[in-house]
Amino acid sequence: MSSNIELQFQKKKLPSKVFNTGIILMVIGLLGIILSYYENPLRSAYNNIILFLFLASIGVGSLFLIGIEYLSGAVWSVPFRRIPEFLSNILIFLPIIVLPLLFNMNNIFHWLHPEILKADELLKSKAPYLNVQFFIVRVIIFLLIWIIFYLILFKNSTKQDDTKDPTLTKKNIKFSAAFMPFFAITITFTAIDWLMSLEPHWYSTIFGVYYFAGTVLAALSSSTIAIVLLNENGYLIQGLKEDHYYSLGALLFAFVNFWAYIAFSQYLLIWYANLPEETIWFLNRWEGNWKFISIGLIFVHFVVPYFGLLSQPSKMNPKRLLFMSSWILFAHYYDLYWLSIPNFSKDSFIFSWNEISFVLFAVGILITVIYKQSNKYNLIPVGDPKLKRGIDFRL
Amino acid sequence: MKEKILYGYAGIFNTADDVIKAAKKVKSNGYEKFDVHTPYPVHGMPKAMSLKPSKLGYFALIFGLTGALSALLLTYWISAYDYPLVIGGKPFFSFPAYIPVIFEVTVLSASIATVITMLFIFFKFPNNAHPLNDTDYMKKVSSDKYGIVILASDEKFEESSVEQFFKSVNASEIFPIYFDIEELNANPKILEPKFLLFLLLAGIITSGATYFTLNKLLYMVPFNWMMEQPKLNPQQKSSIFSDGFGMRMPVEGTVARNYLPYAYKNQPEEAEKYLVNPLPVNKSILELGQKKYDIYCSPCHGYYGEGDSRLRGQFPNPPSLHSEKVRTWPDGRIFHVITEGQNIMPSYSTQLTVDERWAIIHYIRALQRSLNAKETDLK
Amino acid sequence: MSAVDYTQELSVIEGKPALRELDDLISKPLETKPDKKFYIALSITLSMLALFVIGLGLTFYYGIGTWGNNTPVGWGFGIVNFVFWVGIGHAGTLISAILFLFRQKWRTGIARFAEGMTIFAVMTAAIFPLIHTGRPWLAGYLFPYPNQHSVWVNFMSPLLWDVFAVSTYFTVSLIFWYVGLIPDLATLRERTSNKIKKIIYSIFSLGWRFSNRHWQHYEMVYLILAGFATPLVLSVHTIVSFDFAVSIMPGWHTTIFPPYFVAGAVFSGFAMVQNVLIFIRKIFNYEKIITIDTLEKMNKIILVTGSMVGYAYAMEFFIAWYSGIQAEQFTFINRAFGPYAWAYWIMVSCNVLSPQLFWFKKIRRSIPVMFVIAVLVNIGMWFERFVIVVTSLSRDYLPSSWGHFTPTIVDYMILIGSFGFFFTWILLFTKALPVVSIAEVKAVVEGSQPSHHNIE
């Protein structure tokens, strides 16, 4: 009976040091960001792109995970579903984060400069897509789509806590189904707009899928970090066992492999055909000491997580899961850095307090968002009809 | 009358819950040598039987890594060492291109090796001579019942107490199982003689079939059709021509491209009179002349035209090119000698183009001048 | 309103059949003589197989000139059929391996049959690389073995990667299928009273005796094989896509080909499995084991993978425009409006439009409609490979080199015949081996596993 669950679940407030950590990181990060914009606005803009895409991938990816749970009828993830729901709250803040970028567009994008456009026939032919007005319209529409779906899915889920109405599950299943095509389109074109068009002569049909792989990993890993920390400290509910952790670990492992597969496909095809208009993108990431970052990406994003999550026990061990999901989240940031910064600094990679400020801000805002949401709402979807089956789930 | 040897006592259960509860109690009652038989894997049974986790995962990992390493070595050795070829302008060892092959070999070797390990080493299969085979017990547990067998060889085994035990855990049937006579001495080894014989036969058949296919069959009709094609091979007979020759000479009067017939055949005096060296004397012409002279003329005439052949008597030494006679010959006469030959010197018209011959002649003049220099040359 | 009760788990096997009932039901085709319907079906497939043999015989005797391949279209039906059949095979491994890894119990009723289909589809597919070379008896040279000519294979070529991929795929699928068969063969061994059958089952079941000490290792190996088979099946069609994508042909050289081909393979494979299963469950009375819920789930997968294929089409289109490369842009216009436009529009309507009907629950659960949609999907996917191969080759960079491809009667004989080859194996399979996995189905019947507190 679901009332048993409610009795078993005690809503505990997260300790205030969580909030303090989040706010301090945010404030330090924000100060750093402002200073960075003052000191070097172009460098900060490229870092801002990373920040925007990082937070967007966590937010939209979380919506994707929620949608997949509804559509596939999965039960093991139901006790955890609130965590990605809280994480997707970050979407509300994205308009603020994208604003500095919209003011800096002229500096970031080559295809905006009229002198470059005049001389470049190829860029002129892309102008129907790569122009300021359409670009901004796309940004706004995508943000609207994400926020609207977030609000609908979240409202239904939290309303169910009170009313225990199973038709809300049915509604969310329908909205999840509707969300998926929008998800595919918005994720693809977000990646194309913000990352692929930084090098406007270059193109790759798999680029949207590449960003998608990173998105799912970002959402999964950040959810796993929160889930493991909350569960091990007793904030979730009794009865969640290794079997639940195993599924998280298995999904992380699967998507690490998927990312590697997509990355390798893209590389192999471009390497093999050796067409200069395509290889230039990889050559830029081999200039100077960028080659170390590129080789490093393979190890950080694939080799280490692969062997770290290969064995069955490793997927069920909370300590290992916590470490590997933190590592994977860091690897995703590394990936975005590798995609964006070589357009700013051609010969060598740069890493300094500018980059670190953005990272601190990202971590801070995520922690703060989880804290705030957990104060207002339950950490478990107590009204979900599948909750009991979820807690009883065994492999 | 032969006394039947007891293998063990069996208990049959009707539900999965019953058998798993009973299995836990078997262990807690101190029995070590027992087994549970079910028509499908029952969840939680390994834990109930206190079984250690299967180590096959480690085998799979090792076999996989071995396969990967072997494939890497194979591709490296073939492409970078044994027969390197430049393909598509890529380096000899093109690692990204080998990744698909290495991956496939990894999966293949890990899968085959792990399954073989499980079947032949862990399970010691095939084994149709086990005491439990061909029994009523097996008929039941292969279909819809669950069973536990406690072996007679267990230390704590005692017929009546085992029966008591099974009664206490709600077994629906309890009965003994005996060894069949043949099974008693059956001890499946991996290196059984029958298996080795089979391997030997398989080896003989495989190599025999391969030899036959590659060395005999492929030369038989129809596989040899592309070996014998209706085209003319060099030195082959041909029935089209009356003389039977496949290879033909060019028609009388055929002239090769860029070739002009030599106008002064057998006419050295006319060659002397009419042929004039058309090439200027400059460094590149002299270098060309030197190069060609060193290749074609020096074996007999020596590097400086003195006739000091390095053929060591295989061919008579020619007279020196610095003689009064040759020094006063016009260029045309020397050209004639190179083109037609003279005495035992053969014609070099096929080895040297017309221009090369003239260049050599300039070089010979330079050589001649070097041994007969006048004082005016020093200026 | 028939509300779904989310608190209850959907039962995988309808009703609660007794274990012995399952034994009887699944073993019945093996223990009864074939009936008239079987012989009629077999005669149809054997006639198609005869066409295959004739087509192949003509090809061997007269050479590849009997096919429609020409310059510039050097790849014709041969490779289209190869990619088509390899794709069909992917559904089986996905059902066996990937759904196992995702712990989807509904796969148990269909896994054995789907794996069998994989093996037969891969066998059919493997025939095409063997016959298209002109001297198939020299196929041994495809493998890197040391020889007196010091000749090795070309590791740079994706056609060679195909050799490794398809042979590995066939071998591992066969092993996976066989390992799954061992317990069932043992069950049959215990049931049968026929002396010859008993010997055969005894040999191939290796003496399996249902010991839980063995089940423990067995389950681990099954998990390992599933864990290997999953990346394997993704890699096989990826490598097949590399055949095209590593080139510099417009319409071929595009980075999305690997996941696009894999999604397309799963898409067509599931459609074929669904089609055949609808017949199987009717003929053998397996409706309780292969339920409408199972079919509905398969249709959802068809919808998802079909949408992925549609996404790939859209991306190719968009990037072709975005890249600004004239040859690329022309290829896509040529596909839609050139001499093969009819093939293109069949492809789009069958692949993009028809599976979208599966958004509607009524259609997902209606057997006649889902059957038709799956047939359309298979047709569409064959045409997709045709469009990719023939349109790009017939009109590439240099207009003076453009040419037209017309299939010959031998091409058609081989195409139709390949279906005969495939379905003959399936028919024989239904009579020789259990098409549903007895042990796995028993394991998911309600009440077959101990309750939770007995496990912990």
Q: Which of B184, B217, B235 is the last residue of a domain?
A: B184
What is the reported pLDDT for B156? 81
Whole-number Å distance between alpha carbons of A56 and A79: 24
One-letter amino acid identity for C103?
A: R
One-letter amino acid identity for B320?
A: S
Query: Residue B328 belongs to a domain with what CATH number?
Result: 1.10.760.10
Angle between helices C19-31 and C409-432 (to 10 degrees): 130
Question: What is the band of C2 on the pLDDT scale with cuts at 50, 70, 90?
Answer: very low
What is the reported pLDDT for A4? 56
Task: Copy the structure tokens of residue B102.
Answer: 């290495």
Highest mean pLDDT among A219-228, B180-189, B249-258: A219-228
Tell me the nearest-neighbour CA distance from C43 into chain A, angstroms. 42
CA-atom Rg of chain A in angstroms: 21
Question: What is the band of B38 on the pLDDT scale with cuts at 50, 70, 90?
Answer: very high
B257, part of any domain: no
Q: Which of A337, A266, A270 is nearest to A300 (CA)?
A: A337
The mean pLDDT of chain B is: 88
End-to-end CA distance of chain A: 22
Whole-number Å distance between alpha carbons of B130 and B110: 29
Q: How many CB atoms lie within 10 A of CB B269?
A: 11
User: Which residue, among C173, C212, C228, would best test binding to B if mutated, counting the most B CBs under 10 Å from its CB?
Assistant: C212
The hierarchical CATH code for the domain C30-144+152-449 is: 1.20.1630.10
Q: Which residues contact A109 (CB under 8 A, 6 or more apart)?
A: A130, A197, A198, A200
Question: What is the band of A268 on the pLDDT scale with cuts at 50, 70, 90?
Answer: very high
- C338, exposed or middle or buried, with CB in 10 Å at 0-12, 13-18, 19+? middle
Question: What is the band of A342 on the pLDDT scale with cuts at 50, 70, 90?
Answer: very high
Average pLDDT estimate for C135-159: 87
Whole-number Å distance between alpha carbons of B159 and B180: 19
Task: Give the closest of A268, A311, A312 to B96, CB-based.
Answer: A268
B258, part of any domain: no
Q: Which residues contact C274 (CB under 8 A, 6 or more apart)?
A: C295, C298, C299, C302, C370, C371, C374
How far CA A252 is from CA of A255, A263, B58, B211, in Å, comes to: 5, 16, 21, 51
User: Hey, are the CB atoms on C206 and B54 less than 8 Å from each other?
Assistant: no
DSSP string, B172-231: SEEEEEE--HHHHT----TT-HHHHHHHHHHHHHHHHHHHIIIIIGGGSTTTTTTTS-SS
B76, part of any domain: yes
Cα three-residue angle C91-C272-C219, rounded to 5 degrees = 30
Whole-number Å distance between alpha carbons of C126 and C120: 10
Residues B212 and B298 in one domain: no
Q: How many CB atoms lie within 10 A of CB B22?
A: 22
Average pLDDT estimate for C18-39: 88
* DSSP classification of residue C105: G
What is the reported pLDDT for A12? 79
For residue C255, list chain A residues with Cβ-Cβ distance below 8 A.
Answer: 204-207, 265-266, 269-270
Residues B124 and B234 in one domain: no
- B133, exposed or middle or buried, with CB in 10 Å at 0-12, 13-18, 19+? buried
- B203, exposed or middle or buried, with CB in 10 Å at 0-12, 13-18, 19+? exposed
Q: Tell me if chain C has a CB within 8 Å of the CB of A374.
A: no
Whole-number Å distance between alpha carbons of A22 and A370: 9
What is the reported pLDDT for B31? 86
Q: Tell me if chain C has a CB within 8 Å of the CB of B200.
A: no
Residues B130 and B38 in one domain: yes
Whole-number Å distance between alpha carbons of B59 and B207: 31
Tell me which H or E stretch contains C51. helix C36-62
Query: Which residues does residue B13 pair with via DSSP β-bridges, in sequence order?
Result: B146
For residue C139, list chain B residues with Cβ-Cβ distance below 8 A.
Answer: none
> A189 to chain C: nearest residue by CA?
C315
B262, part of any domain: no
Q: Tell me if chain C has a CB within 8 Å of the CB of A129.
A: yes
What is the reported pLDDT for C133? 84
Task: Copy the structure tokens of residue C125.
Answer: 């597919």
Average pLDDT estimate for A251-266: 96
User: Per-residue pLDDT tens for C195-218?
Assistant: 999 999 999 999 899 999 999 999
For residue B1, pLDDT over 60 is answered with no
The mean pLDDT of chain C is: 91
User: Per-residue pLDDT tens for C323-382?
Assistant: 999 999 999 999 999 999 999 999 999 999 999 999 999 999 999 999 999 999 999 999
User: Per-residue pLDDT tens for B93-137?
Assistant: 999 999 999 999 999 999 999 999 999 889 888 888 888 888 889
> How many structural domains comprise chain B?
3
Tell me the nearest-neighbour CA distance from A265 into chain C, angstroms. 7
The mean pLDDT of chain A is: 92
User: Per-residue pLDDT tens for B173-230?
Assistant: 888 888 877 666 666 666 678 888 989 999 999 999 989 988 899 888 878 877 878 8
Question: What is the band of A8 on the pLDDT scale with cuts at 50, 70, 90?
Answer: low
What is the reported pLDDT for B261? 82
Q: Which residues contact A27 (CB under 8 A, 6 or more apart)?
A: A364
Q: Which of C16, C83, C18, C40 is nearest to C423 (CA)?
A: C40
User: Hey, are the CB atoms on A272 and B57 less than 8 Å from each other?
Assistant: no
Q: How many CB atoms lie within 10 A of CB B319?
A: 12
Residue with structure tokens 């079941």? C205
Tell me the nearest-neighbour CA distance from A189 into chain C, angstroms. 10
Task: Give the closest of A267, A272, A311 to B57, CB-based.
Answer: A311
B319, part of any domain: yes
For residue A2, pLDDT over 50 is answered with no
At B129, give phi and psi (nearest 5°): -110, 15
Does the predicted interface ipTM exceed a cut of 0.90? yes
Q: Which of B363, B371, B365, B372 is nearest to B295 (CA)?
A: B363
Residues B223 and B138 in one domain: no
Q: Which of C185, C79, C97, C84 is nearest to C133 (CA)?
A: C79
For residue B99, list chain A residues with Cβ-Cβ distance below 8 A.
Answer: 264, 268
B276, part of any domain: yes
Q: Which residues contact B313 (CB under 8 A, 6 or more apart)?
A: none
Q: Which of A57, A355, A105 is nearest to A223 (CA)?
A: A57
One-letter amino acid identity for A206?
A: I
The sheet carrying B173-178 orders its strands as B34-37, B146-151, B6-13, B173-178
User: Which residue, among A257, A265, A266, A268, would best test binding to B if mutated, counting the most B CBs under 10 Å from its CB?
Assistant: A268
Q: C439 and C16 in contact (C-beta within 8 Å)?
A: no
What is the reported pLDDT for C122? 96
Q: Which of B184, B205, B233 is the last residue of a domain?
A: B184
For residue A375, pLDDT over 70 is answered with yes
Whole-number Å distance between alpha carbons of A309 and A326: 13
Residues B93 and B206 in one domain: no
Domain that residue B221 falls in:
191-248
What is the reported pLDDT for A180? 95
For residue B255, pLDDT over 60 is answered with yes
Task: Give the closest of A122, A261, A270 to C255, CB-based.
Answer: A270
User: Hey, are the CB atoms on A272 and B88 less than 8 Å from each other?
Assistant: yes
For residue A272, list chain C residues with Cβ-Cβ distance below 8 A.
Answer: 246
Interface of B with A in 181-210 (CB under 8 A): none
Query: Which residues does residue B148 pair with via DSSP β-bridges, in sequence order?
Result: B11, B36
User: Per-residue pLDDT tens for A151-196?
Assistant: 999 999 999 988 888 899 999 999 999 999 999 999 999 999 999 9
Residues B276 and B233 in one domain: no
What is the reported pLDDT for B376? 80
* pTM given for the model: 0.86
User: Per-residue pLDDT tens for C81-112?
Assistant: 999 999 999 988 888 898 888 888 888 888 99
One-letter amino acid identity for A167?
A: T
Q: Which of B80, B171, B76, B188 is nearest to B129 (CA)?
A: B188
Tell me which H or E stretch contains C296. helix C292-323
H helix runs in chain B, sequence order: 16-28, 45-48, 56-76, 95-116, 136-141, 159-168, 181-184, 193-211, 268-274, 283-292, 298-301, 324-328, 331-340, 354-371
User: Hey, are the CB atoms on A167 and C9 less than 8 Å from each other?
Assistant: no
B370, part of any domain: yes
Task: Copy the structure tokens of residue C352.
Answer: 């993009």
Whole-number Å distance between alpha carbons of A248 and A220: 8
Please provide the size of chain B in residues: 379
Whole-number Å distance between alpha carbons of C202 and C205: 5
User: Hey, are the CB atoms on B97 and A272 less than 8 Å from each other?
Assistant: yes
> A271 to chain B: nearest residue by CA?
B96
User: Which residue, among B111, B207, B219, would best test binding to C if mutated, counting the most C CBs under 10 Å from its CB?
Assistant: B111
Query: Which residues does residue B178 pair with via DSSP β-bridges, in sequence order?
Result: B6
One-letter amino acid identity for B231?
A: K
User: Hey, are the CB atoms on C4 and A386 less than 8 Å from each other?
Assistant: no
Q: Which of B184, B210, B235 is the last residue of a domain?
A: B184
Query: Which residues does residue C222 pair with via DSSP β-bridges, in sequence order?
Result: none
For residue B270, pLDDT over 90 is answered with no
Residues B172 and B280 in one domain: no
> A310 to chain B: nearest residue by CA?
B61
**How many A×C Cβ pairs under 8 Å?**
90
Question: What is the band of A1 on the pLDDT scale with cuts at 50, 70, 90?
Answer: very low
User: Picking from A226-240, B345-359, C397-411, which range would have the lowest pLDDT averaged per residue?
Assistant: A226-240
HEC-encoded secondary structure of A222-248: HHHHHHHHHHHCCCCCCCCCHHHHHHH
User: Hey, are the CB atoms on C253 and A275 less than 8 Å from each other?
Assistant: yes
Angle between helices A207-232 and A242-273 (to 10 degrees): 160
% of chain C at pLDDT higher than 70 = 98
User: Per-residue pLDDT tens for B296-311?
Assistant: 999 999 999 888 888 8
Q: Which of C392, C386, C385 is nearest to C327 (CA)?
A: C392
Whole-number Å distance between alpha carbons of C340 and C27: 49
B312, part of any domain: yes
User: Which residue, among A257, A264, A309, would best test binding to B if mutated, counting the most B CBs under 10 Å from its CB?
Assistant: A264
